[in-house]
Amino acid sequence: MTLYNKLVRDKIPEIIRENGQNCRTRLLGEEEYKLELRRKLGEELNEYREARDDVQAVEELADLLELLHALTDLHGSSPEELESVRKRKADKRGGFRDRIFLLETEDAEK
**pLDDT tens, 23-74?**
999 999 999 999 999 999 999 999 999 999 999 999 999 999 999 999 999 9
Using an 8 Å Cβ cutoff, are 6 and 40 in contact? yes
Angle value at C-alpha 53, between 47 and 59, nearest 5 degrees: 50
C-alpha radius of gyration, the chain, whole number: 19
- Whether 82 has a pLDDT exceeding 90, the answer reads yes
Q: How confident is the model at residue 1 (pLDDT cuts 50, 70, 90)?
A: confident
Q: Calculate the alpha carbon distances from 71 to 9, 36, 39, 41, 86 in Å.
A: 14, 10, 11, 9, 15
Q: Calculate the alpha carbon distances from 47 to 71, 85, 86 in Å.
A: 19, 26, 24
Q: How confident is the model at residue 86 (pLDDT cuts 50, 70, 90)?
A: very high
pLDDT at 30: 92
How many H helices and E strands in the chain? 4, 0
Using an 8 Å Cβ cutoff, are 67 and 41 in contact? yes
Using an 8 Å Cβ cutoff, are 64 and 41 in contact? yes
Work out the mean pLDDT of the chain and round it to a whole number: 96
